[in-house]
Amino acid sequence: MPGHHLIIEHRGKGPVDPFVPHRKILHGRHPHVQDEQGVSPVAIVPATFALLGNHPNPFNPATILSFRSERGGAGRLEIFDVAGRRTWDERFVAPAGPYQLTWRGVDHRGDAVPAGVYLYRLTMPDGQGTGRMTLAK
């Protein structure tokens, strides 16, 4: 099915779903996949949005957040301290496909934030993801 991945339990070589390491991603058509009891373990997951994480992590002074969006469009990156206060809020427009954003460890006024753990939420029209990163000083 165009625009979909088939995911099965991973039992060997091949690409692995980065969010569930024991699952394998199969691309293309697989009309009939069954286990030994004749039950289909296949789940069809829309291939739309994937948050690929940030690197480096820990970081200083900046980190790159990577994601993939099949639709592209208007997005939003929010970064919070561990107390839940929004430190950074950026709106952007990304094309379909892979995209990267850089956060330079500053707040909405442009002041450097203290070292510590930060949480982020990235939202696109076709999905949302969250992550955790550490700013080292």
In tens, the pLDDT along 43-70 reads 544 558 999 999 999 999 999 999 999 9
Residue 100 reports pLDDT greater than 50: yes
Percent composition of the chain: helix, strand, coil (DSSP 3-state, to 5): 0, 55, 45
> Which pLDDT score is estimated for 113?
97
Q: Is 68 found in the same domain as 122?
A: yes
Enter the pTM of the model. Answer: 0.66
Q: Is 56 found in the same domain as 24?
A: no
Q: Is 60 found in the same domain as 89?
A: yes
What does the CA dihedral 20, 24, 27, 28 come to, rounded to 10 degrees? -120
Q: Is 77 found in the same domain as 55?
A: yes
Structural domain containing residue 38: 1-47
> Which pLDDT score is estimated for 137?
84
The predicted-structure confidence for 2-48, as pLDDT tens digits, reads as follows 444 444 343 444 444 444 444 444 444 444 444 455 555 555 445 58
